Structure 1
Amino acid sequence: MEISAFLLPKEEVAYISSSHSMLEAMEQLEKHSYTAIPIIDETGKYAGTLSEGDLLWKLKRTPGLTFEGMASVPVSTIQRHVLNESVYIRAEMEDMLTLAADQNFVPVVDQDGVFLGIIRRKDIIEYYTRNITD
């Protein structure tokens, strides 16, 4: 089986641009009830994943930062504490499964690093549950 069978395409995934503000990121997380969201740079390449924890650490470590002030903090300046690795669309299933063991979702990229979508750990577990227990 190819990992593309598990792909939730970019068009169906919430993500943020590296130029978005901290406030915009927080609003996207809230809107979609996510705990983490992929970051895409201006060329469409996967640039990392921003988590709720990253936002909280930024708030804690920035004296005087207010809710309104978050609108002027670019996502690109926020330190990320967890590295969510991406997987190449033509990678082996084993590569994707190794990443999915430690990540809620695995970002999928093409040969140039352009973000194509994600593979959710939940979908992998559901697939294997259906096919192994039958």
Structure 2
Amino acid sequence: MNILFFLTPKCDVAFVEENDTLRNALEKMEYHRYSAIPVLSRDGRFVGTLTEGDLLFEIKNQLQLDLREAERVRVKDIAMKNHYDPVDVSSSMEGLVKLALTQNFVPVVDDLEHFIGIVRRRELMNYLYQHQSFSEPEEPARILRQRTQISALYSDRRSTRRYAVAD
């Protein structure tokens, strides 16, 4: 399977450019209800991922919670704590799934490192769920039956212990 099967193209993904302001980033993330958003350079290269936490720490630590100052801060000047690793269009599905385990989305870049879209973890999970058989293997079912039979034997047992009292 090719990772492009899961790709949400750049034209359908909200992103910010590194020269956008902190306020632009906040408003775009709020509008799209994103908790993380890709950051691109002016020429379209993937720079990193900006998260809500990155923005909150920047506002708290640098702006003393003054949103008017957010107009002066550029996205490129905000420290991004969580780096979302991108995959190349020719990457394997194993590499994609490995990254998706720890990232909400996986950025996809071409051979020149230009951002071409994202793969959402939700899309991968839906695909795997639809193509996975969830019937129980025969061996665990057999073990469960044996345990049930053994516990039934013990639940029917009634015994009394007699203890000798020492003088």
Same fold (TM over 0.5): yes
Cα deviation for residue 63 of structure 1 reads 4.7
- Pairing 1:28–2:28 present: yes
Specify the alignment match of 1:74 in structure 2: 74
After superposition, residues 1-134 of structure 1 pair within 5 angstroms as 1-64=1-64, 66-133=66-133
Q: Tell me which amino acid in the other structure corresponds to 1:22.
A: L
Q: Percent identity?
A: 37
Deviations 1:77-97 (A, max 9, x none): 000110100000111111111
Measure the CA separation in 2 of the matches of 1:56 and 1:65. Answer: 9
Count residues with an aligned counterpart: 134
Normalized per residue, the structure richer in strand is: 1
Measure the CA separation in 1 of the matches of 2:94 and 2:19. Answer: 33
Q: Tell me which amino acid in the other structure corresponds to 2:2.
A: E
- Root-mean-square deviation (Å): 1.1
Measure the CA separation in 2 of the matches of 1:27 and 1:12. Answer: 17
3-state secondary structure, aligned to 2:53: helix
Measure the CA separation in 2 of the matches of 1:87 and 1:26. Answer: 26
Q: Return 5+ residue gaps in structure 2 as ranges.
A: 135-167
Q: Tell me which amino acid in the other structure corresponds to 1:128.
A: L
Deviations 1:19-48 (A, max 9, x none): 000000000000000000000101100000
Measure the CA separation in 1 of the matches of 2:14 and 2:94. Answer: 26
Higher Rg: 2
Measure the CA separation in 1 of the matches of 2:44 and 2:97. Answer: 24
Measure the CA separation in 2 of the matches of 1:63 and 1:2. Answer: 44
Measure the CA separation in 1 of the matches of 2:130 and 2:65. Answer: 48
- Structure 1 stretch displaced more, 92-101 or 57-66: 57-66
| Higher RCO structure (Cα 8 Å, ≥6 apart) | 1
Cα deviation for residue 133 of structure 1 reads 3.2
* TM-score of the two chains, using structure 2 as the length reference: 0.78
